[in-house]
Structure 1
Amino acid sequence: MSLNGAFSEMFAPSKRSASADSSFFGNYGGFFSLGSSNPYGMNTKTALKLSAFYNGVDQISNDIAKIPFAIYQKDGKNRISRTDHPANKLIATEPNYLMTTFVFRKTMAISYLIRGNALAKINVNATGYPVSTDVINWDDVRDIRLKKGELLYDVKGYDQPLLSSEVLHFKNFSHNGIVGVGVITYAAQQLGLAIEVQEYSATNFQNKGVRQGVIQTEKTIEKGKDKIIAGWKSAMGEKSPDRIVVLDDGFKFQPINITPQEAQIIEQSRFGIEDIARWLNIAPHKIKSLQQSTNNNIEQQSLDHVSDTIQPHITNWEQEYAKKLITPTELQNGYYVRGNLGVLLRADIKSRAEFYSRMVLSGIYSRQECRELEDRNAGPDLLDEFLTPVNTFTESQIDKNLNDGK
């Protein structure tokens, strides 16, 4: 089958219907996309007011966005970069005329992390080739239904449901593998508590530390209590830092003592950051919480961030790209999508030099490949040769050297 024919078959129109055998939103309402009702009224806007949550989402979405993706083909022991593949442009350079790949993937990643889902429409030309991908706001997704084995996406603004093959659907945490669940769905209580701690701190600063209390006197006051309270509120409500209140006639202000729970407000803030780190599966030091970080373990934590936090997301995206943008015939012929995690592992100059030295001496990299990784121009052809330390020669290499010397 030709490439043109393969794509035509892949994106061929099929019978669509508004009716469906089953719905994957159905009885769950908005549960899968963001969150069912919660006592804190938590949603994306309120959650992002928390600096730790905002920074965590920003960090992970940045890492997903800056990783270069490309299409390759496995050819025996070699791999070939397939820049000629029509879909390579969409994932490597230009997803659509309005966005760069970084902006597109970051926009998608933010929705993917917060709502558990990110959706994009795959646009094709008259011959069936994919030419662009447009971001679809997850709020516009009304339903996802199964009709005679075909998954249909009912999206606001489209006259008919979109086929599964017509969209890129990146799902994060999921119960059914079809629709993701937003982290706020489960984290509402902890995020709500963190918001309350934040608001309490802001109110305390706004009031210049003056707390609630009572005005005491040994006299019996039958009339005028409202005026005393109003006078106190008026005086303490002034914005001036030099506000002064005079209490006469034996009146005294007795503040209501701070509770032990309120005394732990700073400790609560720290625990809030740790909770957010757990919900987002990100190391605390990545969201600027350095209590448990030292110069000795920060490098290891950075490696853990790549392997434990970012790599699962990248694998998820690689497979969705391959499933929707590479034809079944091409998959059988060794085509695949790869995101280069190496960009997240670029350490300081000394660490990179040590890494390259080990790779070259182990015969994994050639010196030419190291130049390419450092964005250097190609050197002499002799740099393409792989090196082997003399003390690690194989028996065949030793025999060859002995025979050549005769």
Structure 2
Amino acid sequence: MSILESAFSRMFSSPQERGVSTLINDFSPYFSYGGIGTSNIKVKESLKLAAVFNAVEQISNDLAKTPFALYQDINGNKERLVNHSADFIVSKQPNYLMTPYTFKKLIGVSLPLRGNCLFEIISYNNGYPESVKYIPWDDVTDVVLSKGEMFYYVNGYSKPLMSSEVLHFKQFSLNGLVGISTITFACMQLNLALKTQEFATVNLDNKGVRQGVVETDKVIKDKPGIVKAWRAAMGEKSADRVVVLDEGMKFNPITITPQELQIIEQQKFNIEDIARWFNIAPHKIKSLEQSTNNNIEQQSLDHVSDTIQPLVTNIEQEFTKKLLSSKERTTCYFKGNINVLLRADIKSRGEYYSKMGTIGVYSRNEIRRKEDENNGPDLLDEYLTPTNTYTEKQIENNLRNSKNEKNPSA
């Protein structure tokens, strides 16, 4: 038996026999597969809440809109490596079934709902990445840490996948190796929100009629008949239905009303709490009560910096670590351009470009490229410098050049 076969034979045995740490089993109370802890809420059930669905949709859409590209740092200048296979995967075609948008959106959906997102890296014979294959986190049966290497046991795979063979994006983590979903921690709050929503639905189905008892001081001989008559009357779909209680009978409800439960107030609270769980501004999930024209722009900036930027950084580093060789990582890196999420109205964008172009941060051709315009004349590649910000050396050079032009023989 070869060394490799011997190693794999140990992997196929149980974790106890292997003498290794199984990350999923050790932390199983925190993980989200089909169900969540002791609550009966499931991931798909949580998406029935409009605030949860919209939070995941907004985060995944913003992540999907963020373009990623591979760059190389050459003496302080970055150069786009468009011919590298890793850049092609990230920016053009992750695999023949997905576009870059759906690839990134899948990551944005899986992380908050599952805590993890896994892709197998398919490589060419020369070792360069060719494509990536999505692996649903529910198909991962175990994650094992053995001698400094992680192994992923996946349904349908005859051998475990090593960490170098997968892109593993993880969200909040207690060990830095396997993520935990937002749904896992928020299950109690989300369960309350679902129950509130269910109560409102049932109350509407029952047309506001509640459970209760019929009281009377007299002895009633035909009790089943009274119950049957009551149900028949209350089951009518007519809006002008009338129920008559005679013989001094009274109906006393035994359930609490939506008003007593403060359903509307509870639903508003649930929306705000869901926004906190998903670290997203309330206005992004269409809750505008606390938003004004003055603060909504700042909230949008906070959304990019506090919600999207951490995800982008997470993905940048995983791409760089797994899709590049150790030698390439010394000068090459992936970068997600979140500027596309910060595009304001034309007036604000024009003022921004004007300032950046005037102080020499961008050349005018660079500004044109940012607006998806073709390059202008070569003159527009020159950087502008305001005359009132010249250094003493620049002033001296300008004076010297001016004197030389006036007196060439000097």
Give TM-score scaled by structure 1 length. 0.91
Distance 1:345 1:14, change over 3 A: farther
Cα shift at 1:391: 2.0
Matching of residue 23 in structure 1 with residue 27 in structure 2: no
Distance 1:14 1:323, change over 3 A: farther
Counterpart of 2:79? 80
Structure 1 counterpart of 2:220, which letter?
A: E
Write the mapping of 1:126-141 to structure 2, written as runs, cut at 5 A. Answer: 126-141=125-140
Structure 1 counterpart of 2:295, which letter?
A: N
Cα shift at 1:80: 0.5
Counterpart Cα distance in 1 of 2:36 and 2:387:
68
Counterpart of 2:407? none
Q: Kindly provide the CA deviation profile for residues 179-209 of structure 1, in whole angstroms up to 9, marking residues without a partner as x.
A: 1011122111100000011111111222222
Moved more, 387-396 or 41-50: 387-396
- Which ranges of structure 2 fall in alignment gaps of 5 or more residues? 404-410
Counterpart Cα distance in 1 of 2:61 and 2:214:
54
Cα shift at 1:274: 1.0
Distance 1:126 1:362, change over 3 A: same
Counterpart of 2:225? 227
Cα shift at 1:401: 2.1
Counterpart Cα distance in 2 of 1:300 and 1:13:
57
Distance 1:316 1:296, change over 3 A: same
Write the mapping of 1:181-330 to structure 2, written as runs, cut at 5 A. Answer: 181-217=180-216, 219-256=217-254, 258=256, 262-330=260-328
Cα shift at 1:30: 6.0
Moved more, 204-213 or 173-182: 204-213
Counterpart of 1:115? 114
Moved more, 120-129 or 51-60: 120-129
Q: Residue 34 of structure 1 contacts residue 181 of structure 1 at CA under 8 Å; is this kept in 2?
A: no
Distance 1:260 1:196, change over 3 A: closer
Counterpart Cα distance in 2 of 1:237 and 1:74:
74
Displacement over 6 Å in runs of 4+: none
Counterpart Cα distance in 1 of 2:334 and 2:187:
35
Q: Residue 72 of structure 1 contacts residue 79 of structure 1 at CA under 8 Å; is this kept in 2?
A: yes
Counterpart Cα distance in 2 of 1:193 and 1:28:
25
Q: Residue 72 of structure 1 contacts residue 80 of structure 1 at CA under 8 Å; is this kept in 2?
A: yes
Counterpart Cα distance in 1 of 2:109 and 2:23:
22
Write the mapping of 1:171-186 to structure 2, written as runs, cut at 5 A. Answer: 171-186=170-185
Cα shift at 1:18: 2.2
- Which ranges of structure 1 fall in alignment gaps of 5 or more residues? 1-11
345, 363, 367: which is aligned to 2:364?
Answer: 367
Aligned-residue CA RMSD (Å): 2.1
Matching of residue 392 in structure 1 with residue 386 in structure 2: no
Counterpart Cα distance in 1 of 2:258 and 2:320:
55
Distance 1:13 1:303, change over 3 A: farther
Structure 2 counterpart of 1:340, which letter?
A: N
Greater relative CO (CA pairs within 8 A, separation 6+):
1
Structure 2 counterpart of 1:353, which letter?
A: G
Cα shift at 1:87: 0.9
Distance 1:260 1:134, change over 3 A: closer
Distance 1:260 1:287, change over 3 A: closer
Counterpart of 1:102? 101
Counterpart of 2:67? 68
Distance 1:92 1:107, change over 3 A: same
Counterpart of 1:338? 335
Counterpart Cα distance in 2 of 1:110 and 1:13:
37
Structure 2 counterpart of 1:399, which letter?
A: E
Counterpart Cα distance in 1 of 2:5 and 2:386:
59
Q: Kindly provide the CA deviation profile for residues 272-295 of structure 1, in whole angstroms up to 9, marking residues without a partner as x.
A: 011111111111111111111000
Matched position secondary structure for 1:42: strand
Counterpart Cα distance in 1 of 2:108 and 2:186:
18
Matched position secondary structure for 1:87: helix
Percent identity for Structure 1 against Structure 2 = 56
Q: Residue 34 of structure 2 contacts residue 43 of structure 2 at CA under 8 Å; is this kept in 1?
A: no
